[in-house]
Amino acid sequence: MSESHKPLSEAEAKIELSRLHKILSDANNDYYNKDLPKITDSQYDEYRRKYEAIEKKHPSLKRKDSLSDQVGALPQSGFSKVKHLVPMLSLGNAFNDDDVSDFVERGHKFFKHDEGLKLTFTAEPKIDGVSANLLYENGVLVQASTRGDGETGEDITANIKTIKNIPHKLKGEGWPDRIEVRGEVYMDHAEFEKLNVDAKEKNEQIYVNPRNLASGSLRQLDAKVTARRNLKFFAYAWGFASSKFTSTQIEAMQKLKQWGFATNPLTILCNNANEMLAHYNKIESQRATLGYDIDGVVYKLNDLDLQKRWGFVARAPRWAIAHKFPAEQASTIVEAIDIQVGRTGALTPVARLKPVTVGGVVVSNATLHNEDEIERKKIRVGDSVIVQRAGDVIPQIVKVIEDKRPSDSKLYEFPKICPVCGSEAIREIDAKTGQVDVVRRCTGGLVCSAQAKENLKHFVSRNALDIDGLGDKQVEMFFEQGLIKQAADIFTLEERDKESLTPLRNKEGFGAKSATKLFEAIKAAREPELPRFIFALGIRHVGITNATLFAKTYGNFEGFEKAVIAANDEKSEAYQQLLSIDGIGETVARSVITFFHNEKNQQALDELLKQVTPQTYVLNISNDSPVAGKIIVLTGTLEKISRAEAKAQAERMGAKVSSSVSAKTDYLVAGEKAGSKLKKAQDLGVKVLSEDEWLELVR
């Protein structure tokens, strides 16, 4: 969209209005009905602003179907945000029988010391819809929200209230005064087909699949539209509950049913992996005739106390898993192989495919992972291949159909120089194992614009500084225009914009409103939480989990940086302390040390720290935890609980678990056959606890 400053003639205005009308209508359809927005919110705002400006200037041109009169035509800003009382989690995946057995096995291992304990699991269909959180107070539905990012969703109360099988008032008894009921909103096949027949008759675009249509229907600003869509709901979980209402998953399902919710009739209790797999097969055999989309089976540990003990990893519970149905496949042709350069310089080959529909979605790219993969699968440009996709996973090439290979096809040669910056691209050799890395990396570092750009995208991403309005597209644009070259530049953008001849508000995709919003979001990111900031730096091998470990250990950024710089000497105490963090091994330690000793990184960091002040890390633990802030080492064989559980428990209560004993250690928990660590603790005068004493302390 180019900015024109010359006023439009009436004829020009008419054409422009019609063009904008088409763009905005398509965008509305993409957003609400297909749930596949193709333009950003700020681009939308900009088009919308122009549309309204023309209407204002030329009232006679205002169309009968003007978008400014339509309520349902505004994008998501129309919904207010709702913070969930308890975060909404996602699930880990199992793709085959072994993964399921492993899951059950992990459970048995975790609870191995609970003598005579029998683990049972529920098994139920995984509904392919949109999850929703319904808050009931004193039995009355008071608020409903989408999942959003898991922490905060959008308020869709009015829309949810139009769904006929969701109770506005809970039936029966025994519900907690305040409870978040969770489940899936979906559209069944009959309704989906009916709406598509209607759409076809009206010559409108048909909908992609029931899930997208359900999602679009839920996000209608006009609840009357949602009401016409005949959505349904299955309840399968809960978040916050002001009182305990049950002790097992299966009983919770019965309660939800008594309170008036639809629960899935294919939910059963299983005694072992075999029974779980048998139920999976049964559900799969009924998949085509259920009348609604499912994409797998969810298994959940039945006992709620045990669920609590087994706990969570990152955003998913350890005690539940989604067993996905096999991927759907199709055959197509590899038209080209492109190389993408990632944040760490990794050269990733991507196959450009002749577009093909796989399981209802058009696929035109597939990842090839690395050069060995291309060799192993013997893929060449021009080959006919089988592609598959499973759920949201990036499509993959399963195999080449070799007898369809064109006679003049040539072996694919993987580039040895970076296609973006021309630096040499190498495969590193692991100093310890002597093995060659599977990944070929560009050696250009921040000189390579691809790496610099990807680093910026990472810096502002969700788990990092999470700057609203600064997504991949905007970062690309600012980078290409030379406005943001390194992280520090983000924070000086507003100052520079004030003096710019082409300020942001006049740029394509931005308006005054979105520019102001962006500057506000940037301002709000100036005091990032410590784990996020460390993660944002994009140090290799430092994901959010390791970043959090560093934050917990060192408390503030200066402490962390100083310690890592001092740790360059492997004999130093700082190096030992780094390695003593449970979960941090040599590879990660080396990686952070290398990062802080790189001069370019240091310069970038110095600039950045002039702009931002990372917060001190405060443990989010109540003061009555007897082990909050204490450093604990576990050694020997524990008899009552597994080592993994003892560690999880200690961390849950705010302790730091270290793998080696030093003068800083507060407690050594010594099980049977404790050896050198026990001796060292005794020598240093560290308090030694038996397993029973430990359990007494934390329980």
Member of 89, 199, 447, 628 binding ligand IVH (CB under 6 A): 89
Options 20, 91, 218, 678; binder of ligand IVH; rule CB under 6 A? 91
Burial class (CB in 10 A: 0-12, 13-18, 19+), 464: buried
Residues 167-196 that bind ligand IVH (CB under 6 A): 184
At 695, the amino acid letter reads: L
d(CA 551, CA 4): 50
For ligand IVH, give the closer residue by CB, 184 or 691.
184
Element (H, E) at 237: strand 232-241
Which amino acid would we find at residue 270?
C
Tell me if 322 contacts ligand IVH by CB under 6 A.
yes
Q: Which stretch binds ligand IVH (CB under 6 A): 121-129, 397-405, 543-551, 632-640?
A: 121-129
- Give the x-and-dash track for 276-305 against ligand IVH (CB under 6 A): ----------------------x-------
Residue 560 CB, shortest distance to ligand IVH, in Å, is 33
Determine the Cα–Cα distance for residues 165 and 156; give it in Å rounded to an integer: 16
- Stretch binding ligand IVH (CB under 6 A), from 12-20, 124-132, 201-209, 513-521: 124-132
Handedness of CA 227, 229, 235, 240 (dihedral sign): negative
Choose between 180 and 191: whose C-beta lies nearer to ligand IVH.
180
Phi, psi (5° rounding) for residue 109?
-65, -45
123: contact with ligand IVH by CB under 6 A: no
Q: Which amino acid is at 215?
A: S
Least Å from the CB of residue 307 to ligand IVH: 9
Closer residue to ligand IVH (CB): 129 or 531: 129
24 touches ligand IVH by CB under 6 A: no
Q: Where are the alpha helices (DSSP H) in 314-378?
A: 371-377
Q: How many residues bind ligand IVH (CB under 6 A)?
A: 14
User: In sequence order, which ranges of 462-554 are alpha helices (DSSP H)?
Assistant: 472-480, 487-499, 512-524, 530-536, 544-554
Distance (Å, whole) CA 172 – CA 567: 63
- 320-324/294-301 β-pairing: antiparallel
- The verdict on 469 binding ligand IVH (CB under 6 A) reads no
345 lies in the site for ligand IVH, by CB under 6 A = no
For residue 243, count other CB atoms closer than 10 A to its CB.
10
Using only C-alpha atoms, the chain has a radius of gyration, in whole angstroms, of 28
Q: Is 126 a catalytic residue?
A: yes
Distance of CA 582 to the CA centre of its chain: 25
Our finding on whether 160 is near ligand IVH (CB under 6 A) is no
- Give the nearest distance from C-beta 119 to ligand IVH in angstroms: 17
Instruction: Provide the mask over 437-456, with x wherever binding to ligand IVH is found by CB under 6 A and - wherever it is not.
Output: --------------------
Q: Which residue in 34, 50, 126, 453 is the catalytic one?
A: 126
Among 24, 320, 346, 374, binds ligand IVH (CB under 6 A): 320
**Residue 236 is a binding residue for ligand IVH (CB under 6 A):** yes
Give the Cα separation of 442 and 557 in Å (integer).
29
Q: Does 131 bind ligand IVH (CB under 6 A)?
A: yes
First to last CA, the chain: 63
Stretch of 122-130, 250-258, 606-614, 634-642 lying at the interface with ligand IVH (CB under 6 A): 122-130
Closer Cβ to ligand IVH, 153 or 671, answer by number: 153
Fill in the amino acid letter for 470.
L
633 binds ligand IVH (CB under 6 A): no
Return the half-sphere exposure (C-beta side, CA atoms, 13 A cut-off) of residue 7. 6
- Identify which range of 20-28, 314-322, 369-377, 526-534 contacts ligand IVH by CB under 6 A: 314-322
| 52, HSE (Cβ side, Cα atoms, 13 Å) | 11
DSSP state of 30: I
Q: Cβ-count burial of 74 within 10 angstroms (0-12 exposed, 13-18 middle, 19+ buried)?
A: middle
Nearer to ligand IVH, 310 or 459 (CB): 310
CB of 421 to ligand IVH, least distance (A): 38
- In the bound state with ligand IVH, the residue whose beta carbon lies nearer, of 322 and 638, is 322
If the CB atoms of residues 72 and 92 are measured against ligand IVH, the closer one turns out to be 92
Question: What span, in angstroms and rounded, lies between the C-alpha atoms of 3 and 334?
Answer: 40
Q: How far is the CB of 312 from ligand IVH (least distance, A)?
A: 9
> 20-52 in b/e burial notation, b at 16+ Cβ within 10 A?
bbebbeebbebbbbbbebebbbbbbbbbbebbe
CB 34 to ligand IVH: min, Å: 19
270 binds ligand IVH (CB under 6 A): no
**Whole-angstrom distance, CA of residue 393 vs CA of residue 407:** 33
For the bound state, the minimum distance from the C-beta of residue 472 to ligand IVH, rounded and expressed in Å, comes to 23
Among 34, 126, 458, 630, binds ligand IVH (CB under 6 A): 126
Whichever of 180 and 582 has its CB closer to ligand IVH, that residue is: 180
Q: Which residues are catalytic?
A: 126
Q: Which residues bind ligand IVH (CB under 6 A)?
A: 89-91, 124, 126-127, 131, 184, 236-237, 298, 317, 320, 322
